[in-house]
Amino acid sequence: MTAAAAPGVHAPASRAVRLRWALSDGVALVGRELSRIRQEPGELIAALIFPAIMVVLFGYVFGSAIAVPGGGNYREYLMPGLFAMVTFTSTMAVTLRVATDASRGVMDRFRSMPTARSAVPFGHTGADFLHGALGLAIMAAAGLLVGWRAHRGLWPTTEAFLLLGLMRYGLSWAGCYLGLVVKNEHTADNLIPLVFPVTMLSNSFVPTGGMPKVLQVIADWNPVSALTAACRELFGNPAAPTADAAWPIAHPVAASLGWSLLLLAVFAPLSARTYRKRGR
């Protein structure tokens, strides 16, 4: 009986095979996300239209009444803020996907299969990174349409997008961890609105200078602010004068890099461990 079933047995033979399988599993899981998008293009379009709507909404509705301190076009001021904001808000999508997998038993199926342990969180965050890249591209296109430009040339522009991508990847891991912890798509759904205020409490839409002192401190140390300020600097977009700014606002590129690496260092091992952990 045992021999008859043998053609099915796929147990890892060596370290090299194991590594190859881990990579192919990761690729298969990222591919899963692409297949899902193919099945439900509407969902993707909705997700991508959202940032474009934000550009119009904030750029023209609020922008019509807001003057940038120190001068400059508000839409030029706004775009780096929107890039940063979307980088943060869209992270909840990965939480939702991971939590759905966990609550529907899909995660358990993966766990009961010879699939590499590390591949599942890597697959989810990898897929989320692709979503993020696509979102940024749409956002940039919308920005270009409303008159936003990157003024400092190829390398600083690339640097800004790399910085956004890195932050997004770090946030993907944080989102993945949250999904593994809540394990319930409805809870995850309820968490989504909470991200919004966090992103608003920053320098994305207005300078922090006019905020009450407590909020100003929080806003200055909000990673969204660092990322926004870094983008403004690298794109050469107008920024409010930073005379006695907090450290992250004065050194936004370093601060963004630091936040991203911190997120990765904390949440990648946490996610991997939580996924791996058996015994529930």
Partner 1 sequence: MADEPIVVAEALRKRYGDTRALDGLDLAVPAGTVCGVLGPNGAGKTTAVRILATLADADSGTARIAGFEVARRPDQVRARIGLAGQHAAVDEKLTGRGNLRLFGRLYHLSRREARARADELLERFGLADAADRQVAGYSGGMRRRLDLVASLILRPQVLFLDEPTTGLDPRSRGEIWDAVRDLVAGGTTVVLTTQYLDEADRLADDIAVVDHGRVIATGTPDELKSSIGDRLDVVLDDPGAAGGAADVLHRLAGAYPTLEGGRLSVPLPAGSVRLADVVRELDRAGLAVADVALRRPTLDEVFLRLTGTPADDTTADTPAGTDGTGAEGSAAVRAKETVR
Positions touching partner 1 (CB under 8 A) are: 1-2, 4-5, 7-12, 21, 24-25, 28-29, 31-32, 35-36, 39-40, 104-106, 108-115, 119, 278-280
Q: How far apart are CA 181 and CA 186, in angstroms?
A: 13
Cβ neighbours of residue 224 closer than 8 Å, sequence gap 6 or more: 84, 85, 88, 198, 199, 201, 202, 203, 204
CB of 155 to partner 1, least distance (A): 39
Residue nearer to partner 1 on the CB measure, 103 or 216: 103
CB of 103 to partner 1, least distance (A): 8
Contact 240, 207 (CB under 8 A): yes
E strand intervals along the chain: none
Residue nearer to partner 1 on the CB measure, 80 or 121: 121
At residue 18, what is the residue type?
Answer: R
Residue nearer to partner 1 on the CB measure, 30 or 54: 30
Chain mean position to CA 96: 13
CB of 278 to partner 1, least distance (A): 5
Q: How far apart are CA 168 and CA 248, in angstroms?
A: 18
Residue nearer to partner 1 on the CB measure, 117 or 251: 117
Residue nearer to partner 1 on the CB measure, 34 or 61: 34
CB of 27 to partner 1, least distance (A): 8
**Residue tagged 């590594």 (tokens):** 19
E strand intervals along 85-183: none
CB of 183 to partner 1, least distance (A): 13
Cβ neighbours of residue 74 closer than 8 Å, sequence gap 6 or more: 59, 62, 63, 66, 67, 68
Q: How far apart are CA 96 and CA 98, in angstroms?
A: 6
Residue nearer to partner 1 on the CB measure, 113 or 141: 113
Helix (H) or strand (E) holding 280: none
CB of 36 to partner 1, least distance (A): 4
CB of 93 to partner 1, least distance (A): 13
Residue nearer to partner 1 on the CB measure, 10 or 151: 10
Contact 216, 209 (CB under 8 A): yes
